[in-house]
Amino acid sequence: MDLETLRIEAEKNYIPILREDTEKILIKTLEKEQPKNILEIGTAIGYSGTIILQNSNSKLTTIELNKDRYEFAKNVFKNFNLENRVNQILGDANEILPTIKEKYDFIFLDGPKGQYLKELPYLFDILSENGTLFADNIYYHGWVKGNEYPKHKHRTAILRLRKFIEECKLKFPTINLYDDGDGILIAKKQQTKN
């Protein structure tokens, strides 16, 4: 299986994966930061995990709640001969994050959008001093930026994402926001010269 087939497979099954423009920014960021130990929240079927591993010399720990997706991703990593660099965890990131002792120098945050805010303190703690947080979908269909959004269904997630962005601005000395894809936040624990 190649990456294009995997993308089509995800679309066919309505599994949301990395958008193509987000993928380009993720690859550029990995090339710039050269991380060695990456954490991903939201494996899905292993598309972004494969991109991460193919574009870095890092190992990857990736968390997924859905058992079928976890199993599918296992085969995907095997298919790309990446299984020795991946530690897949099946479970709820909200329960797993508080138990993690290891430090990561790159975190790809791509789980449920309504949980980003709650997860932030744990993510900040396990991010190493020169670490990078890369959060996807922060504008959530553009609703986080605009005044118009579907009032009932997504209201909580949108308000939490707004708070998440504000909290990141307070916590991280370096933060960049991108409109590309569904909105991307890239934050660094250290001050950087652009």
Using the rule CB under 6 A, is 66 a contact of ligand SAM?
A: yes
Is residue 17 at the binding interface for ligand SAM, with CB under 6 A as the rule? yes
Residue with tokens 């590309």: 180
Residue position matching structure tokens 């396990």: 126
Asked if 63 is part of the footprint of ligand SAM (rule: CB under 6 A), the reply reads yes
What is the nearest approach in angstroms of ligand SAM to the Cβ of residue 18? Answer: 4
Query: Which of 111, 131, 181, 183 is close enough to bind ligand SAM by CB under 6 A?
Result: 111
> Does 112 help bind ligand SAM (rule: CB under 6 A)?
yes
Catalogue the long-range contacts made by 27-31 (C-beta closer than 8 Å, 24 or more residues apart). 27/51, 27/55, 29/132, 29/134, 29/186, 30/55, 30/56, 30/58, 30/106, 31/55
Segment 120-139, which members bind ligand SAM (CB under 6 A)? none
In whole angstroms, give the CA distance from residue 14 to residue 20: 16
Closer CB to ligand SAM, 41 or 158, in the complex: 41
DSSP E strands in 43-114: the ranges are 59-64, 86-90, 104-109
Alpha carbon of residue 51 to chain centroid: 12
Q: How far is the CB of 108 from ligand SAM (least distance, A)?
A: 7
Q: Can you give the binding site for ligand SAM, defined by CB under 6 A?
A: 16-18, 41-42, 44, 47-48, 63-66, 69, 92-94, 110-112
